[in-house]
Amino acid sequence: MKIAKRAERIEPFYVLEVAKAAAQLSQDAGNDTKPMIHLTIGEPDFTAPPLVQEAAIRAIRAGATQYTPAIGLGLLRERISDWYRQRFGIDVPARRIVVTAGASAALQLICTALIEAGDEVLMPDPCYPCNRHFVIAAEGCPVVVPTTAAERYQLSAEKVAENWSDKTRGVLLASPSNPTGTSIHPEELRRIHAFVQSKGGITLLDELYLGLSHDDAFGQTGLTLDENVISINSFSKYFSMTGWRLGWLVAPEPLVPVIERLAQNFFLCPSTVSQHAALACFEPESIAEYERRRAEFKARRDWFIPALEKIGFKVPVAPDGAFYAWADCSEWFHAWDVPSSWEFAFEAMKRARVAISPGRDFGAAETARFVRFSTANSMDNLQEAVARLSALRP
C-alpha cells in the first residue's frame, strides 16, 4: 500500500516508544525484579479531583452525552474566560475561545487554518516533537533553530529575525517548554511578537504548562500582548485531565469562524462528558486542590534537580515551570559504554529499572547528550530512582 508522503515525514513519538519498551521489559521480567519507575511521559500522577469526577458522573446519569457546538459548551467557554480574568487579570472574551479535543486538536486546527504547503514555521531546538509534526501534517516545514542554556532554550527576537525568510509564516513557541521547563521572558516574547507582526506573520504560543509556573517573573500569559497572539492550552497538565482529551485555544475573533468550520468537519465537537466535567475545574474547591498540587510539583523539582546533579547529571537551566528536568547525562557515557542519550536511556531501564526519555525526540541541537526526566511522579518514586542510579554512578 502506498503511504502518503506527509505521513512518511512524521517520525515516531519516541517518548511513547521508550515507554512501550519499558512496559515490555517489565512484563518480560515478571515479578522477579524491582518494579520499573516510569519518568518518561509527561502525565501528572494526580487524577481529576472529586468535583470533576462527580460532574462527569452526573452528566452521564442525566444523559448529557450528545453533541455540543463544535467550538464547545458556551458555559465552559465563559468559565475559561473567567479563569483568565481571575488568574491573570486579563479580559479574554469567551467569543475568542474554542474548546477542542485536547491541545493536539487545537494545534491541528490552527495549523490547518493558517499554514499553506511549503510555509516555514520557526521553533526552538529542543522542543516538543508533536509541535513539529502538526506543522508537517499541514504540509508546512518546521524550521528548528538551535538554542542554548544561556537563552533558556528559547528563541530570541534576534534569532527569529536571523532565520526569517520569504517562506516564513510565523513562530511556534512554548512557555513553559517541554522538555526544558523553561519560559520565555515576557519582554523577549514582546520583542519576538513585534517582529513577527512587522512581517505579517503569526505568533503561536503553546501555554499548556502555564498553570504550573513556579516563578512570578514568567507566569503570565502571552495573551497580554495583543489579540493577534494565538494561545493553545489544555486541561491535561494543571487540571490533571490527560485521558479526558480536552483543551482550548484563544484566537483573534475573525479566525474563530474558520476554526469552527474546520472543527465541525474534523471533530464534530469535543467530548461532551469531558466538557461537563471540566466545568467543575473552576470551582474554588477544585482550584485549591490544583494549587496544592502545583506546590507539590515545585517541591519535587526543588528536591530532584539537586539530587540529580549530585550523581553526575547536569541541569543547565533550572526549570521555572512544568514538571521536567532536562539533564546532560554525557558524564555517564564512558562508564556505561554508550555513545548517546538514546542508548543510555535503554541501559537505565535495564540496569536501574528507571525509564526516562532520550533527547532524540526533542531535536538535534546537542540533544544526544540530554535526557528528560518527568517529575510527574511521587516523591517516593523520585527518591528511589535517584537511589538506584546513584548505586550505578560512574
What's the one-letter identity of residue 87?
R
Contact 201, 171 (CB under 8 A): yes
Class of domain 5-47+286-390: alpha beta
Residue with cell 489544555: 234
5-47+286-390 and 50-283 share one fold: no
Residue 31 has pLDDT above 80, yes or no: no
Please report the pLDDT score of residue 18 as a whole number. Answer: 85
Pairing of strands 247-250, 37-39: unpaired
CA distances from 239 to 23, 48, 83, 283 (A): 26, 7, 12, 12
Tens-digit pLDDT profile for residues 92-114: 999 999 999 999 999 999 999 99
Residue 290 has pLDDT above 80, yes or no: yes
Binned at pLDDT 50, 70 and 90, residue 16 comes out as: confident
Contacts by 51-55, CB closer than 8 A, 24 or more apart: 51/280, 51/283, 51/285, 51/286, 52/239, 52/241, 52/277, 52/278, 52/280, 52/281, 52/286, 53/277, 54/280, 55/276, 55/277, 55/278, 55/279, 55/280
Domain boundaries, the chain: 5-47+286-390, 50-283
CATH number of 50-283: 3.40.640.10
> pTM of the prediction?
0.94
Please report the pLDDT score of residue 30 as a whole number. Answer: 64
Residue 144 backbone phi and psi in degrees, to 5: -90, 130
Candidate from 11-15, 187-191, 233-237, 255-259 with smallest mean pLDDT:
11-15
Binned at pLDDT 50, 70 and 90, residue 29 comes out as: low
Please report the pLDDT score of residue 277 as a whole number. Answer: 98
Tell me the percentage of the chain whose pLDDT exceeds 70: 99
* Average pLDDT of the segment spanning 4-23: 86
Tens-digit pLDDT profile for residues 167-185: 999 999 999 999 999 999 9
Residue 278 has pLDDT above 80, yes or no: yes
Calculate the average pLDDT of the chain: 96
